[in-house]
Amino acid sequence: MGQLLGSLLHFRCRDSTPTQFLLDISASLTVYSELAMSSPAVKMQPDDRTSMSEAAVRTFLNITETWKLNVDLQRALLGFPSPSTYFKYKAGQVGPLAHDVLTRISLIIGIYKGLHTLYTDEALADSWVNLPNSNPIFGGKTAISLMTEGGMDGLYQTRRLIDSRLGADVS
């Protein structure tokens, strides 16, 4: 299963535009996350995870740069990898990521994609995570505060909120 998914990701992403690449990797990571969560026995092989991991980290770094997040916030979104591991990621030295990290990146890609679907103003979509928010789940704080301080649950809450505003099935 993992080899098939990794091959599909490589094939779909190699000649795509940046927007299509984002959609493709988001779809691939979502499929992986859903498969792994529905059946713990379904795990990708290390080589396939490495291929997906490299693309996922590149996409993550591009998104967090767009959001203007500092290193500490980026590390928090990834689940606090050590500084040396984080800087290896930035240098392109990415091994197979753990399921938890791939899930986090999948949620972040979904949040980014959802914001750009929800808001036609690109500047608003890119700054939304850094703006104070009156929605009760944020308590007047920024979305990035919930996403970093709330851990995986904060990422899920933010993704579900955006999905609900898009009218997506969030069950």
Task: Give 147's contacts (C-beta < 8 A, 6+ positions apart).
Answer: 77, 108, 111, 129, 154, 155, 158
d(CA 60, CA 29): 12
Question: Which residue would you say has higher pLDDT here, 48 or 92?
Answer: 92
Residue 7 lies in a domain: yes
CA 59 to chain centre: 8
Residue 137 lies in a domain: yes
pTM for the model = 0.75
pLDDT digits (tens, 9 = 90+) for 81-117: 999 999 999 999 998 899 899 999 999 999 999 999 9
What's the domain count of the chain? 1
Residue range 59-76: average pLDDT?
Answer: 97
Does 35 score more than 90 pLDDT? no
d(CA 13, CA 23): 9
- Report the length, in residues, of the chain: 171
% residues pLDDT > 90 (the chain): 62
pLDDT score for 20: 54
pLDDT score for 3: 42
Domain of residue 149: give its range. 2-165
pLDDT digits (tens, 9 = 90+) for 6-30: 434 443 444 455 555 555 555 556 5
% residues pLDDT > 70 (the chain): 70
Write down the mean pLDDT value for the chain: 81
d(CA 3, CA 47): 8
Does 154 score more than 80 pLDDT? yes
Question: Which residue would you say has higher pLDDT here, 16 or 148?
Answer: 148
Does 159 score more than 50 pLDDT? yes
Residue 170 lies in a domain: no
Cβ density class 113-122: b for 16+ within 10 Å, e for less? bbbbeeeeee
Q: What is the DSSP string of the chain?
A: -HHHHHHHHHHHHTT--HHHHHHHHHHHHHHHHHHHHH-TT----HHHHHHHHHHHHHHHHHHHHHTT--HHHHHHHTT---HHHHHHHHTT---PPPHHHHHHHHHHHHHHHHHHHH-S-HHHHHHGGGSB--STTTTTSBHHHHHHHSHHHHHHHHHHHHHHHTT----
Using pLDDT thresholds of 50, 70 and 90, give the confidence band for residue 168.
low
Residue 134 lies in a domain: yes
pLDDT score for 32: 54
